[in-house]
Amino acid sequence: MSEKPLDGVTVIDCASLYAGPLTAMALGDFGAEVIKIEHPQGDALREFGAYEEPLSYLWVNRNKKSVPLDLHTIEGQQLFCELVADADVLVENFRPGRLESWDIGWERLSELNPELVMVRTTGFGQTGPYSDRPGFGTLVESMSGYAYSTGHADGPPTLPPVAMADTICSLHSVYATMMALYWRDTCDGTGQYIDTAILETMFGTLGDHVIEYGRKEIDHERSGNQSSRTAPRNTYQTKDGRWVAISGSSANIAERILRIVGGEELVDDPRFETMEDRLANADTLDGIIDDWMGRHTRKEVIEIFETNEAALGPVYNMADVFEDPHFDERDAIIVVEDDEYGAVPMRGVFPKFSETPGAVRHTGPRLGEHTLEILPERTSVTETELKQLADEGVTTVEGDR
């Protein structure tokens, strides 16, 4: 019996930065063998960020095997095709038409391997007037409608401080990959390619905005942390300078919040009787709550809200997250030992499986760490030929750089 749900699945990852590599990472977390095809000079994520250590690379490319190949070269293309011929999944994020220009696109690869599931991740998709544009998450977060509706009314459109669009896209690609494998393996299907656009997956998070504009021409402009659907809903600063967030999305929770900050008098106030009333008087209600918060420390606020079973969450910084026992018990943060960098904390593996849980076996590999392990075993090239190809810049063999 397999220990991991994807044991025996081989994934070729020739994507860079986040959206594609995160897709392959998730598959690797749950047992797939992931072969990372990167440029002989190294994936761009190895140099990402203002740090001496390749922190992003170490977690995004965990559980993968580094096999550098220069796909601009005939030799690199041939070895790539030989690897893909025996793979289950290929994840790539080149601009549409780039692989085809090297004659290693879908048509050739699917002929070599009719069972192949090819995940094509781009900013704007394989078709459409924007398909040739560079697909960075920042552009997509702007064009999807997300940034327009995020931020304060008197401030600029606001971008997330993380690779949000790429991460959301990767999750869509993972479940699409699993559906394609299921159809192939249980429904007498074939391989196929998956066209995942970062723009569309980010746009999909605004589902309510789409239908509301389509039906009512309501365009959700920036309103800070307030909501057009829920009041009270905001972040509030406590007496000790910390922050908490509350959401009174249900009538009973809203009533409990009102009782905490203003007693029965506030509960009975006609301005706040219904959700419609509270939304119409959201600023006034926020002022009352804000004043109450300012008279209590965060610890006091949390204790009072928990005692009264009213929904509230402290606004954590990363130090808070690292100290929180819930995150610890859930293994939301794990520490992985790296031969070069020692103990490396990173986000854990989730969701949790009762019988076949995922695991992190190692951090992102060193450049060319697995070239001699993978290529002579899975392709027609010999170790001697590999070292010659490394001298020519077609690949990289660890220790020969």
Positions marked catalytic: 166
Rounded to 5°, angle at Cα 384 from 381 and 386: 50
Distances (CA, A) of 43 to 16, 37, 346: 6, 9, 19
**3-state secondary structure labels for all residues of the chain:** CCCCCCCCCEEEEECCCCHHHHHHHHHHHCCCEEEECCCCCCCHHHHCCCCCCCHHHHHHCCCEEECCCCCCCHHHHHHHHHHHHCCCEEEECCCCCHHHHCCCCHHHHHHHCCCCEEEEEECCCCCCCCCCCCCCHHHHHHHCCCHHHCCCCCCCCCCCCCCHHHHHHHHHHHHHHHHHHHHHHHCCCCCEEEEEEHHHHHHHHHHHHHHHHHHHCCCCCCCCCCCCCCCCEEEEECCCCCEEEEECCCHHHHHHHHHHHHHHHHHCCHHHCCHHHHHHCHHHHHHHHHHHHCCCCHHHHHHHHHHCCCCEEECCCHHHHHHCHHHHHCCCEEEEEECCCEEEEEECCCCCCCCCCCCCCCCCCCCCCCHHHHHHHHCCCCHHHHHHHHHCCCCCCCCCC
What count of other Cβ atoms lies within 10 Å of the Cβ of residue 282? 20
Alpha-carbon gap, residue 84 to 166, rounded angstroms: 24
Total residue length of the chain? 401
Alpha-carbon gap, residue 36 to 16, rounded angstroms: 10
